[in-house]
Amino acid sequence: DAGVTQSPTHLIKTRGQQVTLRCSPKSGHDTVSWYQQALGQGPQFIFQYYEEEERQRGNFPDRFSGHQFPNYSSELNVNALLLGDSALYLCASSQRLPLSLIFGSGTQLSVL
């Protein structure tokens, strides 16, 4: 079982650019959540997708958007990048029931 896979593993962008991160959930999982982990901090919830809709959203601006596809994979898009967007972006998948998140290894985004 491949678990949760994320791509790319590393990414370097400049301020103002746009970025797309991708996530494939663990087999059998239908819910995808995205988290941002700044250096030295715990992960912070961005949003969660289920049945191709955003179900919950954390305290992140509209520059952060996402999508879930019929095969349950997901994308995270960030527009108008800021230096403060530099972080490890983690994708996690789960089933609606039972209740546990399985995390991918993350995408390290650096904004210069």
Partner 1 sequence: AQSVTQPDIHITVSEGASLELRCNYSYGATPYLFWYVQSPGQGLQLLLKYFSGDTLVQGIKGFEAEFKRSQSSFNLRKPSVHWSDAAEYFCAVGENYGGSQGNLIFGKGTKLSVKP
> Which residues of this chain interact with partner 1, rule CB under 8 A?
4, 31, 33, 35, 40-45, 48, 55-56, 58, 90, 92, 94, 96-97, 99-106, 108
Q: Which is nearer to partner 1, 16 or 54 (CB)?
A: 54
Question: Which residues are CB-neighbours of 60 under 8 A, at least 6 positions away?
Answer: 36, 46, 47
Rounded to 5 degrees, what are φ and ψ at 84? -70, -5
Beta carbon of residue 16, minimum distance to partner 1 (angstroms, whole number): 27
Q: Which is nearer to partner 1, 18 or 44 (CB)?
A: 44
- Strand 10-13, strand 107-111: pairing: parallel
Q: Which is nearer to partner 1, 42 or 70 (CB)?
A: 42
Give which of 8, 34, 16, 6 is closest to 85, Cα–Cα: 16
Beta carbon of residue 80, minimum distance to partner 1 (angstroms, whole number): 24
Q: Which is nearer to partner 1, 16 or 28 (CB)?
A: 28
Beta carbon of residue 31, minimum distance to partner 1 (angstroms, whole number): 8
Question: Which residues are CB-neighbours of 73 under 8 A, at least 6 positions away?
Answer: 22, 23, 24, 25, 32
